[in-house]
């Protein structure tokens, strides 16, 4: 009889750091990067974290909120850090 092997993962095992240089095609005519572009990058980062942790494809169901405290401008390097904050049986928070 074989025993099931349970492999536990830590938050650090699924953490993702990614960055992107902000170019003119990401911005409006004033040089401010579109919030939608930043939100897209956050979603991609979170998706990578979730897929790493689940070891299978995952999808975003909801985003609680996004608050921009200051503009991101063309020429800035944007760094994103994604990590797991909760894991359930069929869902997780990233």
pTM of the model: 0.86
**6 falls within a domain:** no
**4 falls within a domain:** no
pLDDT at 86: 92
Which residues, including other chains, have CB under 8 Å from residue 70's CB and lie 6 or more apart?
Answer: none
**1 falls within a domain:** no
Q: Domain count for the chain, please give it.
A: 1
Count each helix (H run) and each strand (E run) in the chain, helices first. 2, 4
Spatial CA neighbour of 58 closest among 67, 66, 49: 49
List average pLDDT for each run of 10 residues in the chain, which is 94 residues long.
Answer: 68 91 96 97 96 92 94 97 92 93
Whole-Å CA distances, 94 to 11, 38, 71: 10, 16, 24
**3 falls within a domain:** no
**5 falls within a domain:** no
| CATH code of the domain covering residue 25 | 3.10.129.10
Q: What range defines the domain where residue 52 resides?
A: 11-93
pLDDT at 2: 62
């Amino acid at each position: 009889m074989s025993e099931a092997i349970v492999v536990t993962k830590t938050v650090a095992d699924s953490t993702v750091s990614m960055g992107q240089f902000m170019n003119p095609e990401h911005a409006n005519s004033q040089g401010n990067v579109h919030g939608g572009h930043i939100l897209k990058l956050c979603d991609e980062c979170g998706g990578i974290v979730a897929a790493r942790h689940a070891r299978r494809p995952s999808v975003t169901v909801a985003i609680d909120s996004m608050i921009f405290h200051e503009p991101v401008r063309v020429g800035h390097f944007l760094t994103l850090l994604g990590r797991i904050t909760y894991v359930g049986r069929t869902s997780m928070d990233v």
